[in-house]
Amino acid sequence: MSPADGAGDPGTLVIHAPASGERVGEVAITTPDEVRAAIARARSAYEMWRSVPLEERCDRLLRFRDALVDRADELIEMLVKETGKPRQEALLHEVMPIVDTFTYLSRRAPVILQPKELPLHLFKHKKSVVHYVPRGVVGVISPWNFPFTIPMGDVAAALFTGSAVIVKPSEVTPLIMKLTKQIWDSTGLPADLFQVVYGRGDVGSALIDGGVQKIVFTGGVATGRKVAAACGAALVPCVMELGGKAPLIACADCDLERTARAIVWGGFANSGQVCVSVERVFAHREIYDALVERVKALTLELRQGNPERDEVEVGAMTFAPQMDVADAHVKDALGKGATLVTGGQRHQPAGAPGQFYAPTVLADCTGDMMVMRAEIFGPIVPIARVDSEEEAITRANDSHLGLNAYVFTRDRKRGEEIALRLEAGSVLVNDVLTNHATPEAPFGGVKDSGFGRVHGDDALRDMAEKRHVMTERIAAPAHDPFWYPYDAKRFKLLRKGLTTLFAGNGLVQRIASIF
Ligand code: NAD
């Protein structure tokens, strides 16, 4: 049974653990009227929250951070049950980054959001200040692969900037948000400031159309197109965090052991259901054979099974249809000449009757294979041989997606040079995946991977509304020379001013060089 089956009641999502099949819990689907009511309540909560000074908001939100820490074991248990990911990943990839984000923002938000005075290059008699004011109600629509850390990063940004926030979690993994909402409510913070609505795509649509002031969407490219169109029709600004097809370039001089370990961890963490998973390896021919052998050996050491046990590295597939997607990728690749190094099929670990796919390594992969072109979102690492770094860069950029990319080389300077030539939102040199957990760094994609950014100073400012306030430094004359009336004499004067100010090394240039 799919984890999101309604079990007969169309108004309920019943969730089953992907690793064991056991029933984990259920939530009632939010009706369109209830979505509208939630937005109205959020609006009232925002009216109160916006008037709370930023420093005080920071203090109050730490109460929630503390409650998350206190109840971390419950969160981890729920994440493991609902998604099938190993306990260590639930802790390190989900709970820890969010606790860190709330801690970080409580300290940094007042600095990042402080009003910014603009040094006007011409209107020296004016004072121009950009203020970052609360936006209103922010809607967050999220996927099933990181059902806690993805929405909660956006929740944090919305709350710190003074907005109210409503999350629409994936219908596949709604229970972790249900628990998170209970934890929020237990802190005494205003209940309507952070709300959750449950259901499928139609509930997400109702949120977009219901009068929110911003949408942060994370999900697939096809859904992203629909959501962006709906946001466009409603004139709601949006951030689109979509799919990835991260290339990893293994240069001839790379540290082979670290590179192999990065490929294995970056390809199989969360059973490969990560938007920044290592999805294409381009290995220089000088190290290709040794790298494939080492990746194979490390993959064979992985223990797959019930993720509730600490000694398991690879858990279950969260979303059953991804098993068919994985099969299709393997079949297509083998049909086009790839070599199956290990894996390549579903796997049934002892004592775990759920949905598992064996960590799979494919070698001799070529650009015509689906596995090198389409997002896999499963535990499959395809490796291709390249003759040069130039070829690796060209092939890495030959993709409609551009979220993360990775370069492995002992020459860090060369690594940075290659990074600048890769078409991706983030490029890591000698590392994989970890950038999503750095609240300082902007995260997002280019090309079909989306637009806008989450995390980082700019994204926090973008979560707020920019209000530009301009005042005069000295009292302005009653009769402003640039206002009415217009006449020929003044036009002549202004026309002369154009040349004086701008031609060659004109006055503007000279003023700019002084200040
Ligand atoms: P999805 O696109 O199927 O669903 C994402 C969310 O959108 C769900 O909550 C879903 O109910 C909702 N939705 C569906 N139709 C909608 C509509 N018409 N209007 C509003 N909401 C709608 O994605 P998924 O299968 O849950 O997640 C996997 C995808 O997410 C992968 O492609 C992955 O790469 C991507 N992803 C991207 C990032 C990133 O940060 N760029 C992170 C994680 C996952």
275 is catalytic: yes
Nearest CA-CA partner of 325 in 385, 259, 371: 371
Q: Give the closest residue (by CA) to ligand 1 atom 9.
A: 170
Angle between helices 96-112 and 54-70 (to 10 degrees): 170
Pocket test for ligand 1, best of 85, 223, 270, 436 (most atoms within 8 A of CB): 223
Q: How far apart are CA 367 and CA 388, in angstroms?
A: 16
| Whole-prediction pTM | 0.96
301 is catalytic: no
Q: Which amino acid is at 83?
A: T
Cα distances (angstroms) measured from residue 450 to each of 241, 277, 385, 428, 437: 5, 17, 29, 19, 19
- What would the pLDDT profile of 82-140 be if each residue is shown by its tens digit? 999 999 999 999 999 999 999 999 999 999 999 999 999 888 899 999 999 999 999 99
pLDDT at 513: 75
Q: Which amino acid is at 330?
A: V
Burial of 506 (0-12, 13-18, 19+ CB in 10 A): middle
Least confident of 5-9, 78-82, 157-161, 442-446: 5-9
Q: Give the closest residue (by CA) to ligand 1 atom 42.
A: 275
Domains of the chain with bracketed CATH = 12-242+456-466 (3.40.605.10), 246-441 (3.40.309.10), 485-515 (no CATH)
Q: Which numbered atom of ligand 1 lies nearest the CA of 226?
A: 18
Mean pLDDT score of the chain: 96
Q: How far apart are CA 62 and CA 193, in angstroms?
A: 15
| Whether pLDDT at 6 is above 90 | no
What residues pair up with 342 in beta bridges, in sequence order?
361
Nearest CA-CA partner of 84 in 482, 328, 378, 507: 378
| 3-class secondary-structure state, position 309 | coil
Specify whether the CB–CB gap between 313 and 345 falls below 8 A: no
Could you tell me how many residues make up the chain? 515
Given 82, 89, 171, 241, the catalytic residue = 241
Specify whether the CB–CB gap between 204 and 234 falls below 8 A: no
| Whether pLDDT at 188 is above 60 | yes
Q: How far is the CA of 143 from the centre of ligand 1 (A)?
A: 4
Residue 27 corresponds to which tokens in the numbers above? 């939530």
Site residues for ligand 1, CB cut-off 6 Å: 141-146, 150, 168, 170-171, 200-201, 204-205, 218-220, 223, 226-227, 241-244, 275, 375, 377, 403, 445, 450
| 3-class secondary-structure state, position 19 | coil
| Whether pLDDT at 514 is above 90 | no
Q: How far is the CA of 240 from the centre of ligand 1 (A)?
A: 10
Q: Which numbered atom of ligand 1 lies nearest the CA of 244?
A: 34
